[in-house]
Amino acid sequence: MGVGVQAFRRRFPRLARNPTTQQSTGKILTSENPEVEWLMPAWLFLQLAGTSTQPLEAIAEQFGWSMPRCRELLARAAAIAAIREERGGKVRRITMLQQNASKNSAKAPNHFWPKKPRECGLNLALQYERRVTAIVHSNPHLVRHALGGYLHNVWSTRCIPVFRNPFLPEEACHYVHFLEAIGLQKSSLQFIHFNPARRSRFRKQWRSALQLNWRYAKQIIYYDPLFRRNSASDRWLAILPVFDRAHGSRVTDPLKGFHFLLIMAAIAFGYDRSPRPASALDAS
Per-residue pLDDT, 33? 52
**Single-letter code of the amino acid located at 24:** S
Strands 112-114 and 220-222 come out as unpaired
Boundaries of every domain in the chain: 3-114, 119-283
Q: DSSP states of 52-69 as a string? A: -SS-HHHHHHHHT--HHH
Name the residue with higher pLDDT: 195 or 174.
174
State the pLDDT confidence band at 83, using cuts at 50, 70 and 90.
Answer: confident
Contact predicate 59/164, CB 8 Å: no
Q: Which residues contact 180 (CB under 8 A, 6 or more apart)?
A: 186
Dist. CA 71–CA 77, nearest whole Å: 10
Q: For 175-231, how does the pLDDT look when each residue is reduced to its tens digit (9 = 90+)?
A: 999 999 999 999 999 999 988 788 889 989 999 999 998 888 889 888 877 666 677
Average of pLDDT values for 13-35? 43
For strands 189-193 and 237-241, give the pairing.
Answer: antiparallel
Helix H or strand E encompassing 258: helix 252-269
